[in-house]
C-alpha cells in the first residue's frame, strides 16, 4: 500500500521537483571565455616582457656605452684589461676626461721652458729641447728612462728597429733619431752702398736691436745673425732693382717693361709666396743677389702711420726686426738638399743640391730697406750696392724625438707631429705648437695612467730642422716610406698654434667635415657663447685709417685660397711637416692653428721678437688659444685613434676634385688667372689659354670616382652598424647572465651558502681578459701557466700579423658567452676592409713618376704651386701644363695620367 501511495503521489505534477536543465554551450561562448583568460593573464605577462625588454635594452645601452671601448677592443682581437676601476671604458668618457687636462697654467710653464732660449736646428740648445721633449714623453706615458740616453743614429739597427717594431710592441716607448743632413750656418755678412770710387757711403747694421724691455730679446738679439738658411755663400755688387713681392707676375712685369736683371741686386718685400721662390725668380733672370725685407704696408692697419707704437713698447713692427728663414726651393723638393728621395744617414751618398739657390741672399730690416729704397726713388742716386754672405755648409746632426702609445689594432697608426726647432726662440713658431702638443701629451698620459688604451696605435713626433726645409720629417718619411704607406692611416700636423686671432683649419678634403665638426663642438677660447669654428672669422681689433690696397688684396687672395673648400677648410700645399706624408706617400693630413690678420698686433715672424713676452702680452694673453688648439688637436687624435670606421669623407674629396672641372677652379694659382678665370665654367681655363682641350673623359672618370665613393659610404655605414649590433647583442647576453648570477647568489645566501668565484662579485659585463685566436678561452695550466699563455698569445700575434689583420675572432666563441663569434669576425673583417679603402683614397692619388720638373712630389690631386711654395694647386700637373706651360700636348698627357689614377681608384673603392 505504501508503494502505491508513493507511486501515486509521484505522478502528481504539482508535487514533484523538476530536474535541473543544463543548457548546451554555443561555440561562441566558449571562445569568449578563452579570450577572457588570455586577456587576464597573457596581456599582463606580455606587458611585463615588454617592460623587461625595454629595461634590459636600456641597461644594455648604458652598459655598452660605459664599456664600448673594451667590447670594441675585444672584437679587434686585443686582450687588454683596464688597470684601475676609474678606467674610461668608452671613447666619450676618454674625450670628456681628456678635455679637463690642458690648462693655461701648464701651457704657460711649457712655453717658458721652450721659448726663452735660442734653439736653432743642430745647436746645443736644440739638442736640449729634444731631450726635454723626450723627458716629457717618458714622464707622461709612463716610460722608464734607460740608463743610457736613447739617441739612435739614423740607419742603425736601433733606429730602424725602434720604428719598425711599433706595430708589434705592447708598451709605450720613446727615443731620439739622429739624422745627418747638409745644412749651413752663418759666418760673416755685410751690406753697403758704394760711392763711384768704391768707398763706402753707407754700411747697414744688419742685426736686430733689442733692449731689456723684452729681456729675452735683449739677451739673445745677436744669438742667430741676420741670414737665410741654405742660402748660397758669396759676394755680389750691382745696381738695385725693386721687384715688389718677387712673385712670377712681378718678374714678368719687369721683363715686359724692358728691365734687365742681369748682374743686379734685387730687393723684394716678404709676402705673397715662399721666400725661396723670390730668390729663384731673380736667379733665373740673371740677378747677382737678392735682399728681402718686411714692409710695414703688409702689417695692415697696425702701423706707425696709424698711430701705433713699435714693439717692444707697442703692437706695431719694430723697424730693426727681420725675417730669417730658409731659401730652399721648396716647390722642387724638401728635406736634405743632398739626399733627395732617400734618408740622410751619416754615410749617405751625397748629390749636389738642386733645390738651393746659386746666388746669395740676405734678410734685411725695414730700417735698412728704407735707405736702399731711397736710392731708387725719383732723384735717388741708385748707387752700387755691395753685399757679402759667407756661410759654412756642412753635415750637421739633427734630432727627431719620437714616442709611441700602442693600440689594440697595432697595424693601424695615427701620427701626430710638430716641429721643435726655431730660428731664434720662436715663441709662436714653433713653440706655441710645441706647447699645445705638450698639453695633448699630458692629457693622453692621464688616460694611460687610468688604464686607457687607444684602439689604434698613436705615434708622437717632435721634428727637427723644419725651418731649414722640413728636413727632420722628410728624412724620417723617406727612411720609413714603406712602413708609413702600409700602416699610417692619418697624419696630424701642428706648426704654430698661435700668432694671431683667426683660427684656420686646413687638411685633406676627406677631413673637412671631421675638422669642422670638432671645431663646432669646442667653445671659443675668448668669447663665451661662441664656438671654436666661429673663431675662423675673427680678426684683430687694432684698426686704422690707412691700409695699403695691394697688401689688402694679397691678404684677401691668401684667405680665399684658405677657405676655398665649401666647408671652409683649406687644402694643404706645403711649408710644414705634413708635406712628406701627404705629397709623397699619400697620407691624409691636417694642419690647424690661430694666425694673424691685418688688424692683429704685428707678428715678428722668425725674428728675435717672436718672444715669450710678445706671446704673453699680445698674441695670447692667458694662453687660452694655446689650450683651445690642444683640445682641438687632442680630439682629432682620440677620434681617429678610437673610431671603428675612420672618419674620412672620400665622397666630399671626390666631389671637390670633380668640381675642379665643372666650375670650381678655386685652387688654381691666382697669379695665373684673370678675374674671369676665377669664376669659370667647365673647361673655361683651357679656352682662355687658347688651348684646344677636351676634358670630357676626365670628367666622366671623376664622376665615376664619386659614384664609387658613394657606394663605399653605404658600405662603411652598414659595416659599422653590423659590428655594433653584434657587440650590443653580446653585451645583452653578458648583462642577463650577470643579473641571473647575482639572483642565484642572493638565493644561495638565504640558505647560508656562500657564492664561489662564479658569483656576481667576480664577474663584470665586459669581455674576458684572455682570448685565443679562435675566440676560445686560453685555459691556464697548473705550474707554468703564465709563461705558456704568453707564448700562446705571441704565436697568435705572429700568425695574425702575417696577413696584416688581427682577426682573432675568426672561429669559436667568446669566453662564457657562446655568441655569434663567426659573424663578429666577419663584421671585423668588413670594417677593416672599409678602412683600407678609405685610406687608399689618398694613396690612390700618388703617381710614381711625380710632377714634371719636381718629381719628388707625387700627388696628382694637390701639391704646392710651382711658383707659390706654401699655397696649394689642385690637380697640379694638369693645371700647370695649362697655366704655366700652355702646352696642349702636355695637358692631354697629364689628363690621361690623372684619368688612369681615377679609374683605378674607383675600382679599388667599390665594396
SS3 label, residue 150: coil
Phi and psi (nearest 5°) for 124? -55, -35
Q: Is the pLDDT of residue 883 over 50?
A: yes
pLDDT band at 741 (very low <50, low <70, confident <90, very high): confident
Q: Is the pLDDT of residue 420 over 50?
A: yes
Cα separation, 550 vs 557, in Å, equals 11
pLDDT band at 685 (very low <50, low <70, confident <90, very high): low
| Residue 466 annotated to the active site | yes
Of 42-51, 90-99, 292-301, 859-868, least confident by mean pLDDT is: 42-51
**C-alpha grid cell, residue 814:** 667568446
Asked if residue 437 lies in contact with residue 462, where contact means CB atoms within 8 angstroms, the answer is yes
Average pLDDT, rounded, for the chain: 86
CA triple 429-431-434, angle to 5 deg = 120
Q: Is the pLDDT of residue 564 over 90?
A: no
> What's the mean pLDDT in 797-813?
36
Q: In this structure, how many other beta carbons lie within 10 angstroms of the beta carbon of residue 760?
A: 17
Looking at per-residue confidence, does 78 or 345 come out higher?
Answer: 345
> What's the mean pLDDT in 244-272?
97
Q: In this structure, how many other beta carbons lie within 10 angstroms of the beta carbon of residue 568?
A: 17
Highest mean pLDDT among 51-60, 192-201, 662-671, 819-828: 192-201
| Distances from the Cα of 147 to the Cα of 150, 151, 402, angstroms | 9, 12, 18
Q: Which of 742, 121, 27, 863 is nearest to 475 (CA)?
A: 121
pLDDT digits (tens, 9 = 90+) for 456-477: 999 999 999 999 999 999 999 9
Q: pLDDT > 90: what percent of the chain?
A: 71
pLDDT digits (tens, 9 = 90+) for 579-591: 999 999 999 999 9
Cα separation, 70 vs 769, in Å, equals 10
Instruction: For residue 395, list its beta bridge partners.
Output: 182
Asked if residue 523 lies in contact with residue 487, where contact means CB atoms within 8 angstroms, the answer is no
> What's the mean pLDDT in 87-113?
92
Looking at per-residue confidence, does 571 or 2 come out higher?
Answer: 571
Tallying the residues shown for the chain, one arrives at 911
pLDDT band at 901 (very low <50, low <70, confident <90, very high): very high
pLDDT digits (tens, 9 = 90+) for 314-348: 999 999 999 999 999 999 999 999 999 999 999 99
pLDDT band at 561 (very low <50, low <70, confident <90, very high): confident
Q: Which helix (H) or strand (E) holds 175?
A: strand 173-179
pLDDT digits (tens, 9 = 90+) for 655-681: 999 886 654 343 334 444 333 333 343
Of 70-74, 108-112, 416-420, 453-457, least confident by mean pLDDT is: 70-74
Q: Is the pLDDT of residue 693 over 80?
A: no
pLDDT for the residue 19? 52
**C-alpha grid cell, residue 36:** 577572457
pLDDT for the residue 727? 86
User: HSE (CB half, 13 Å, CA atoms) of 883?
Assistant: 27
pLDDT digits (tens, 9 = 90+) for 142-153: 999 999 999 999
SS3 label, residue 219: helix
Looking at per-residue confidence, does 115 or 748 come out higher?
Answer: 115
Cα separation, 55 vs 139, in Å, equals 45
Looking at per-residue confidence, does 886 or 481 come out higher?
Answer: 481
pLDDT band at 57 (very low <50, low <70, confident <90, very high): low
> What's the mean pLDDT in 490-494?
98
Cα separation, 552 vs 223, in Å, equals 34
Q: Which of 444, 420, 416 is nearest to 432 (CA)?
A: 420
Q: Which helix (H) or strand (E) holds 163?
A: helix 157-164
pLDDT for the residue 815? 42
Asked if residue 393 lies in contact with residue 319, where contact means CB atoms within 8 angstroms, the answer is no
One DSSP character per residue, 106-137 reads: HHHHHHHHHSSS---TTSHHHHHHHHHHHHHH
pLDDT for the residue 137? 98
> What's the mean pLDDT in 282-306?
98
> What's the mean pLDDT in 499-510?
97
Cα separation, 205 vs 188, in Å, equals 13
> What's the mean pLDDT in 231-239?
98
pLDDT band at 81 (very low <50, low <70, confident <90, very high): low
Q: Over 815-881, what HEC string results?
A: CCCCCCHHHHHHHHHHHHHHHHHHHHHHHCCECCCCECCECCCCECCEEECCCCCCCEEECHHHHHH
- Which residue is catalytic, options 68, 283, 439, 466? 466
> What's the mean pLDDT in 385-406?
98
Looking at per-residue confidence, does 68 or 277 come out higher?
Answer: 277
Q: Which helix (H) or strand (E) holds 786?
A: helix 785-802
Q: Which of 402, 380, 361, 366 is nearest to 279 (CA)?
A: 361
The gap from C-alpha 525 to its chain's centroid, in whole angstroms, comes to: 21
Q: Is the pLDDT of residue 764 over 90?
A: no
Cα separation, 174 vs 135, in Å, equals 9
SS3 label, residue 423: coil
**C-alpha grid cell, residue 408:** 689594440
Q: pLDDT > 70: what percent of the chain?
A: 80
Phi and psi (nearest 5°) for 609? -85, 0
Task: Spell out the residues 6+ positions from residue 466 whose beta carbon is closer than 8 angstroms to its own.
Answer: 121, 419, 421, 430, 472, 473, 495, 576, 577
Cα separation, 454 vs 99, in Å, equals 16
> What's the mean pLDDT in 795-821?
40
Q: What is the pTM of this model?
A: 0.86
Amino acid at each position: 500500500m505504501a508503494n502505491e501511495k508513493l507511486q501515486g503521489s509521484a505522478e502528481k505534477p504539482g508535487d514533484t521537483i523538476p530536474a535541473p536543465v543544463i543548457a548546451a554551450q554555443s561555440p561562441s561562448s566558449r571562445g569568449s571565455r578563452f579570450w577572457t583568460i588570455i586577456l587576464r593573464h597573457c596581456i599582463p605577462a606580455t606587458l611585463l616582457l615588454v617592460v623587461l625588454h625595454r629595461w634590459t635594452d636600456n641597461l644594455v645601452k648604458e652598459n655598452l656605452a660605459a664599456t664600448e671601448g673594451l667590447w670594441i677592443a675585444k672584437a679587434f682581437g686585443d686582450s687588454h684589461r683596464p688597470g684601475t676601476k676609474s678606467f674610461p671604458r668608452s671613447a666619450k668618457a676618454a674625450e670628456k676626461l681628456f678635455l679637463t687636462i690642458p690648462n693655461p697654467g701648464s701651457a704657460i710653464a711649457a712655453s717658458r721652458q721652450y721659448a726663452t732660449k735660442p734653439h736653432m736646428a743642430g745647436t746645443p740648445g736644440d739638442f736640449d729641447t729634444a731631450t726635454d721633449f723626450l723627458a716629457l714623453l717618458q714622464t707622461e706615458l709612463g716610460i722608464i728612462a734607460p740608463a743610457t740616453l736613447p739617441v739612435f743614429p739614423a740607419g742603425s739597427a736601433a733606429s730602424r728597429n725602434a720604428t719598425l717594431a711599433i706595430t708589434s710592441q705592447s708598451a709605450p716607448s720613446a727615443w731620439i733619431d739622429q739624422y745627418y743632413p747638409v745644412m749651413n750656418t752663418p759666418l760673416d755678412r755685410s751690406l753697403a752702398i758704394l760711392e763711384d770710387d768704391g768707398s763706402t757711403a753707407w754700411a747697414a747694421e744688419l742685426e736686430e736691436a733689442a733692449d731689456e724691455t723684452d729681456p729675452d730679446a735683449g739677451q739673445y738679439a745677436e744669438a742667430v745673425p741676420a741670414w737665410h738658411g741654405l742660402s748660397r755663400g758669396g759676394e755680389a755688387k750691382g745696381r738695385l732693382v725693386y721687384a715688389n713681392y718677387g712673385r712670377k707676375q712681378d718678374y714678368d712685369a719687369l721683363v715686359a717693361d724692358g728691365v734687365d736683371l742681369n748682374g743686379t741686386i734685387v730687393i723684394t718685400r716678404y709676402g705673397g709666396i715662399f721666400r725661396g721662390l723670390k730668390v729663384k725668380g731673380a736667379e733665373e733672370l740673371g740677378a747677382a743677389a737678392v735682399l728681402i725685407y718686411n714692409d710695414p704696408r703688409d702689417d695692415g692697419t697696425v702701423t706707425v702711420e696709424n698711430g701705433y707704437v713699435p714693439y717692444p713698447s707697442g703692437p706695431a713692427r719694430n723697424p730693426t726686426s727681420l725675417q730669417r728663414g730658409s731659401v730652399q726651393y721648396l716647390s722642387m723638393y724638401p728635406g736634405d738638399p743632398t739626399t733627395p728621395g732617400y734618408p740622410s744617414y751619416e754615410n749617405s751618398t751625397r748629390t749636389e743640391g738642386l733645390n738651393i739657390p746659386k746666388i746669395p741672399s740676405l734678410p734685411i730690416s725695414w730700417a735698412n730697406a728704407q735707405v736702399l729704397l731711397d736710392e731708387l726713388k725719383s732723384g735717388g742716386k741708385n748707387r752700387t750696392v755691395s753685399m757679402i754672405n759667407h756661410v759654412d755648409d756642412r753635415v750637421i746632426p739633427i734630432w727627431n724625438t719620437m714616442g709611441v702609445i700602442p693600440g689594440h689594432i697595432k697595424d693601424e697608426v695615427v701620427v701626430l707631429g710638430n716641429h721643435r726647432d726655431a730660428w731664434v726662440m720662436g715663441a709662436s713658431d714653433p713653440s706655441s705648437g710645441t706647447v699645445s702638443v705638450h698639453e695633448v701629451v699630458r692629457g693622453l698620459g692621464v688616460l694611460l695612467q687610468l688604464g686607457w688604451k687607444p684602439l689604434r696605435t698613436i705615434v708622437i713626433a717632435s721634428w727637427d730642422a723644419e725651418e731649414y726645409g722640413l728636413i727632420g720629417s722628410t728624412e724620417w718619411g723617406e727612411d720609413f716610406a714603406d712602413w708609413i704607406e702600409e700602416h699610417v692611416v692619418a697624419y696630424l700636423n701642428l706648426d704654430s698654434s698661435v700668432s694671431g686671432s683667426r683660427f684656420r683649419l686646413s687638411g685633406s678634403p676627406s677631413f673637412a667635415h671631421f675638422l669642422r665638426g670638432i671645431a663646432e663642438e669646442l667653445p671659443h677660447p675668448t668669447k663665451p657663447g661662441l664656438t671654436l669654428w666661429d673663431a675662423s672669422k675673427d680678426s684683430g681689433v687694432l684698426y686704422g685709417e690707412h691700409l695699403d690696397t695691394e697688401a689688402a688684396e694679397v691678404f684677401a687672395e691668401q684667405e680665399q685660397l684658405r677657405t676655398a673648400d665649401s666647408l671652409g677648410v683649406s687644402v694643404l700645399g706645403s711649408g710644414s711637416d705634413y708635406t712628406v706624408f701627404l705629397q709623397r706617400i699619400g697620407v691624409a693630413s691636417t694642419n690647424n692653428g690661430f694666425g694673424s690678420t691685418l688688424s692683429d698686433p704685428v707678428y715678428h715672424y722668425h725674428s728675435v721678437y717672436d718672444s715669450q713676452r710678445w706671446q704673453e702680452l699680445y698674441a695670447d694673453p692667458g694662453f687660452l688659444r694655446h689650450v683651445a688648439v690642444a683640445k682641438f688637436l687632442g680630439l682629432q687624435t682620440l677620434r681617429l685613434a678610437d673610431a671603428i670606421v675612420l672618419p674620412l669623407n672620400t665622397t666630399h674629396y671626390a666631389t671637390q676634385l670633380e668640381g675642379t672641372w665643372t666650375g670650381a677652379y678655386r685652387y688654381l694659382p691666382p697669379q695665373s688667372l684673370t678675374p674671369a678665370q676665377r669664376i669659370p665654367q667647365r673647361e673655361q681655363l683651357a679656352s682662355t689659354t687658347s688651348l684646344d682641350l677636351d676634358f670630357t673623359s676626365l670628367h666622366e672618370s671623376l664622376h665615376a670616382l664619386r659614384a664609387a665613393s658613394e657606394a663605399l659610404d653605404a658600405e662603411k655605414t652598414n659595416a659599422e652598424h653590423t659590428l655594433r649590433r653584434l657587440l650590443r647583442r653580446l653585451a645583452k647576453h653578458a648583462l642577463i647572465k650577470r643579473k641571473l648570477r647575482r639572483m642565484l647568489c642572493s638565493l644561495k645566501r638565504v640558505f647560508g651558502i656562500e657564492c664561489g668565484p662564479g658569483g656576481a662579485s667576480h664577474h663584470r659585463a665586459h669581455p674576458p681578459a684572455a682570448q685565443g685566436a679562435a675566440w676560445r678561452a686560453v685555459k691556464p695550466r697548473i705550474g707554468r701557466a703564465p709563461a705558456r699563455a704568453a707564448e700562446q698569445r705571441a704565436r697568435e700575434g705572429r700568425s695574425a700579423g702575417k696577413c696584416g689583420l688581427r682577426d682573432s675572432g675568426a672561429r669559436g666563441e667568446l669566453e662564457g658567452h657562446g655568441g655569434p663569434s663567426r659573424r663578429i669576425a666577419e663584421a671585423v673583417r668588413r670594417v677593416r676592409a672599409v678602412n683600407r679603402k678609405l685610406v687608399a683614397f689618398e694613396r690612390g692619388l700618388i703617381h710614381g713618376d711625380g710632377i714634371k720638373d719636381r718629381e719628388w712630389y707625387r700627388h696628382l690631386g694637390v701639391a704646392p704651386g710651382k711658383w707659390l711654395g706654401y699655397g696649394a694647386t689642385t690637380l697640379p700637373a694638369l693645371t700647370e701644363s695649362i697655366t704655366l706651360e700652355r702646352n696642349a700636348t702636355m695637358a692631354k698627357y697629364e689628363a690621361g695620367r690623372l684619368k688612369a689614377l681615377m679609374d683605378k681608384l674607383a675600382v679599388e673603392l667599390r665594396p
